[in-house]
Structure 1
């Protein structure tokens, strides 16, 4: 067990060395220490520092510079590190299920160190353990203790070879046999094999398996989850009837063993059905607290929202790492200048500011939003566990589902694009693997796919919005939601009549201006999508065809714009609340305005198309405001990075170290690589095996 970090708040913030970055730090308009305390709070900062310090002082977590591990060795090391994390007891069982902020901070710490480690730990505890806790009952809680003692190791088995996003079409079956009071888990063919399951490849002993529940007589009650033992914990050999294996090397996160499994008439006790959404009595009678099959299906897949919000947090952490590396590099990398003799930091160039600072603002805005949504999700889960079956609780679940379904695409795509921009902004040095930007890009890439393909997920959000509008048109229902994310739609007709009135860039330097534009944009896209959908239906298309034909330029854009608006709205409210210290208001206000305007600028064509913008001035005003905000934030950029960057040991990038000694750190890291000064092992091929060229001489 690692001791809790003691000491005064000042111990949390050691001073940075007065190296090449000192000039920018000295010009900052705010105290980065004050901002850190405001954003995170002392308890969270102390906890994160405790975790980071423990990792850095433990030889098992030493960075293996110059050593390239085989796939098998990397997975072995990742498992040993995961086991050590449990030995430290950073999180208790109570923390996992009742302290969402602490759990979120811990995810952040492990992920910034290595996403393979974070994924392994949280697939075991959150995906497997939380699925049991949230979907099961007291009879299943014995598994929770075994999770934290590592008597068993878990995984979450939903997707199959032939089905991923379309969960209703999952083909694994669970037939109930009342004679033995057992379920028979079966894979009808290889296309129904569970696939892409993290931890399943080499490690997992148990799985939460999703299967279609059949009762005697052949009646199917839809998708339910079951605890299935897949390996013997003492030998790690497969259980009878289970074929389980590893999928092999991936593009990234190769410390995590993704695997597959097929089940051949595997019998499990009736009690292994996770029964919060539905249960089966010993004689084979089906019972459920949900009368509506759609509600029951939603409850059985509620853990997917946990996964999607967690992926948002992962993507944001990757973006924070990338902008930390790129901006520290940009503040110390000198190229060209006003005279032949003088070179200036590339951060002084407007083009570099425009490329990087909006992603810094996005890292702040999305971090706050993902954290707040995680807390909203924890409130929803408490209601479900408390048996709340109210209409408000049901609406709350729909809203969370819509936000998680669009939030994951927005965060993962923003991180994907941001990491690539950071890589390019660091030039050739950014392409060196040791500087980590390539690893971040590869490790972030699956965030765009797992727990639902991004483009498919956006349809969930647009369906939610279209459904609200349809209900209003059919019965006059009010456009409201528990989290108030759609309440502005009550003024839907009036908002559509508004127009942009800014006449200079100064009018746009507060996020209230792009916020008003976003509300118009969402209302416009909602109206256009709704009309397009009805037009398709009137022309004879069935519901499936109509929705399919409305995605491009309509529903997809609607879902993204609604999500961006929600992030902008929450960050605006957070940065403009009375509790913000006066010394922090200017910098937070600029971050809020820059993220809002930069995101909005991607919709300029639609803003003109719908008539909200008119004439050349509107677009130019927004562009000028973006560049002005970038210029205003330029001197604050290094201090803003100091708030979000982890210690150098965790950041693990020579060009992004806090001391700013760019070339010294880079040179030292290159020389530490194995065999850099040795001749190639194949040198003899160069010296003694010259090709015979006589017959290839050109004829003159």
Structure 2
């Protein structure tokens, strides 16, 4: 990391107000500002500060968010805020060329404020425009400046009412008419209506619509994306042939208008086909860069046509990590200031001093750091893949890179969303009754994280993509056969597949167990074990007469599903281990970061203790007790650093928007003030005459 200019720390890091949290900050073993600079760099920190201060100083972004607004008001306010963001112009194209992570940082900063707003930005710019830009068709590039000038608004329509995860079964059709050089887009019935499309409910004027492409003669060439106008930008009324509407209130994210659409023989120009993977000539002949002589080549083309979904899943990983960060910031600041019980005749102590509270929360703090590093590194991997696609790279390495990122993103989204889901709930409960107050935001975080578990692919279905990738290595002559390598080296350890299966847990002492190399070795064994178990289960099912489809279905619950999860956990543990043990880590931060790495690895591994014993990696009481003791010891070592670690990842109070999580630690003062300032807190109920009116006593008495 380059040295920072003198005095820059003061502008990047204003001092926290003194208060109840000061005691923990004073006991920290490291300088939180130094850690923030090491993890983010000055450039990213300045961008974050610009975004946060701009939102706080613009009256349009003043709280409250959605709780005191009707659905229509919240949708309008979100749209107006979305429009204002284009005026603030946080990023220039040159910024992204210098540091691609800035786009991810912008999205996550907006998400810390309000995920409805962030989602609207993502869908109208990143998702819609990326689909057009990656097609390489310059005629459609005219849409790009129109989106940024708000002349039009975009969305991406893949899911239908009756099909989501099974994308190959999508039923919307696009028949090519060579007489007019147009595609005729059509929804055969209401079950084929596009559904759950973000931005489509009220505001989208254009959509990237996925449909089955047919050429003259009735031949279907599979699923392709088309740019389709759905509303008039001047009136927001539907264009002829399109029925489009809003789905209504959801559990969360209600500032985002999710909608549906049906198409009745809507004609669009031939050039509106996004032709990255295939095209149709003016005469109606289908052409493609990919061979379609066999099923495998057809799958390759199909996978490439859905490549944009990997980008969405990588983005969702970052969204989930952001939600987890916010939750642990609130819960740990609360735990450091909430005093309950204590030694006999002594003062009450902060609940963070209790081992149980540390065990509940500190592993999720470690998970936030580990998954954040994984999210950023996977995003940079994706940028490498997309750069190759734009450069028309069709090398074998590029193909393998695409497969590997697809496998990592397909398991990364489930791991990140489920970890955030469990973590937010634990944080909510760890804050007791105060965590249940909506104003403290944990309920919103839980609800707004929840769709991450299902959209852009249901988590359990997505995990099959990752296990299929790993099993494919065996079928292609991987472990025990030919060389097993990947561009990102996530599967290279499988070169030693037979030798790894012979390894056993042989840690001698508790001190030796406090190293992330211990869970790293155990995870490698666990992946190899589950890979072998999954392959044996598939072979057993096939030998018993099951079809390949049935065999794979019956191998999921206890074999392929855990295989995919532990492989991704291994990847996160490995990347964070390598990051925290690199030579460039400043000496004052080494011990701290390595404790976080070890805690995340051991805590994650502890969820698979039964498998470690069942497969013979562990035996006897000592191994299990040693890992449990190591988790507790690491929690104890990190307890005094917890508040400072939160300070590194926490946004300003305005963005965090939680009275019990404010940086000054004045828990009760902040909560009391927020309650008194609440809408109608001290007002008499508007329906008070109902209380004063007499009930019909006779009928009630007869019931009693």
Q: Structure 2 CA distance, aligned partners of 1:551 and 1:510?
A: 32
Contact 2:473-2:479 within 8 A present in 1 as well:
no
1:260 aligns with 260
Helix, strand or coil for the counterpart of 2:587? coil
Contact 1:95-1:103 within 8 A present in 2 as well:
no
1:238 aligns with 238
Q: Structure 2 CA distance, aligned partners of 1:520 and 1:168?
A: 35
**1:488-530, Cα deviation, whole Å (9 max, x unpaired):** 0000000000000113321210100110000000000000001
Count of paired positions: 695
Q: Work out whether 1:316 is the aligned partner of 2:324.
A: no
Q: Structure 1 CA distance, aligned partners of 2:96 and 2:74?
A: 27
Contact 1:66-1:673 within 8 A present in 2 as well:
no
Deviating more after overlay: 335-344 vs 66-75? 66-75
Contact 2:232-2:238 within 8 A present in 1 as well:
yes
Q: Work out whether 1:383 is the aligned partner of 2:388.
A: yes
Match of 2:614 among 609, 612, 616: 609
Measured after TM superposition, the shift of residue 467 of structure 1 is: 0.5
Contact 2:136-2:390 within 8 A present in 1 as well:
no
2:294 aligns with none
Helix, strand or coil for the counterpart of 2:633? helix
1:275 aligns with 275
Unaligned runs of 5+ in 1: none
CA RMSD of aligned residues (A): 1.6
Contact 1:32-1:642 within 8 A present in 2 as well:
yes
1:411 aligns with 416
1:153 aligns with 153
Q: Structure 1 CA distance, aligned partners of 2:390 and 2:22?
A: 51
Q: Structure 1 CA distance, aligned partners of 2:341 and 2:479?
A: 64
Q: TM-score, normalised by structure 1?
A: 0.97
Residue correspondence of structure 1 range 511-526 to structure 2 within 5 A: 511-526=516-531
Q: Structure 2 CA distance, aligned partners of 1:234 and 1:93?
A: 29
1:61 aligns with 61
Measured after TM superposition, the shift of residue 442 of structure 1 is: 0.2
Deviating more after overlay: 636-645 vs 680-689? 680-689
Q: Structure 2 CA distance, aligned partners of 1:65 and 1:267?
A: 40
Q: Work out whether 1:672 is the aligned partner of 2:672.
A: no
Q: Work out whether 1:12 is the aligned partner of 2:12.
A: yes
Helix, strand or coil for the counterpart of 2:262? strand
Measured after TM superposition, the shift of residue 698 of structure 1 is: 9.4
Helix, strand or coil for the counterpart of 2:476? helix
Unaligned runs of 5+ in 2: 292-296
**1:657-681, Cα deviation, whole Å (9 max, x unpaired):** 0000000000000001011111211
Contact 1:93-1:148 within 8 A present in 2 as well:
no
Contact 1:75-1:255 within 8 A present in 2 as well:
yes
2:435 aligns with 430
2:334 aligns with 329
Measured after TM superposition, the shift of residue 143 of structure 1 is: 1.1
Q: Structure 2 CA distance, aligned partners of 1:683 and 1:143?
A: 56
Q: Structure 1 CA distance, aligned partners of 2:86 and 2:290?
A: 37
1:181 aligns with 181
Contact 2:196-2:260 within 8 A present in 1 as well:
yes
Q: Work out whether 1:346 is the aligned partner of 2:342.
A: no
Measured after TM superposition, the shift of residue 544 of structure 1 is: 0.1
Q: Structure 1 CA distance, aligned partners of 2:99 and 2:310?
A: 18
**Structure-2 change in CA distance of 1:383 and 1:682 (3 Å):** same
2:367 aligns with 362
Helix, strand or coil for the counterpart of 1:472? coil
Contact 2:478-2:484 within 8 A present in 1 as well:
no
Measured after TM superposition, the shift of residue 606 of structure 1 is: 0.4
Contact 1:416-1:444 within 8 A present in 2 as well:
yes
Q: Structure 1 CA distance, aligned partners of 2:597 and 2:490?
A: 18
Measured after TM superposition, the shift of residue 142 of structure 1 is: 1.1
Q: Structure 1 CA distance, aligned partners of 2:84 and 2:65?
A: 21
2:168 aligns with 168
1:392 aligns with 397
Contact 1:200-1:258 within 8 A present in 2 as well:
yes
Q: Structure 2 CA distance, aligned partners of 1:345 and 1:356?
A: 14
**Structure-2 change in CA distance of 1:76 and 1:66 (3 Å):** closer
Q: Structure 1 CA distance, aligned partners of 2:545 and 2:115?
A: 48
Helix, strand or coil for the counterpart of 2:588? coil
Contact 2:65-2:74 within 8 A present in 1 as well:
no
Contact 1:607-1:613 within 8 A present in 2 as well:
yes
Match of 2:624 among 619, 622, 625: 619
2:143 aligns with 143
Contact 2:385-2:398 within 8 A present in 1 as well:
yes
**1:351-382, Cα deviation, whole Å (9 max, x unpaired):** 00000000000000000001000000000000
**1:550-578, Cα deviation, whole Å (9 max, x unpaired):** 00110000000000000000000000000
2:23 aligns with 23
Contact 1:503-1:617 within 8 A present in 2 as well:
no
**1:572-612, Cα deviation, whole Å (9 max, x unpaired):** 00000000000000110000000000000000000000000
Q: TM-score, normalised by structure 2?
A: 0.97
Deviating more after overlay: 648-657 vs 9-18? 9-18
1:132 aligns with 132
Contact 1:154-1:206 within 8 A present in 2 as well:
yes
2:654 aligns with 649
Contact 2:318-2:372 within 8 A present in 1 as well:
yes
Contact 2:66-2:74 within 8 A present in 1 as well:
no
Contact 2:66-2:254 within 8 A present in 1 as well:
no
Measured after TM superposition, the shift of residue 473 of structure 1 is: 6.3
Measured after TM superposition, the shift of residue 144 of structure 1 is: 1.2
Residue correspondence of structure 1 range 195-210 to structure 2 within 5 A: 195-210=195-210
Contact 2:314-2:409 within 8 A present in 1 as well:
yes
Residue correspondence of structure 1 range 221-236 to structure 2 within 5 A: 221-236=221-236
Contact 1:496-1:520 within 8 A present in 2 as well:
yes
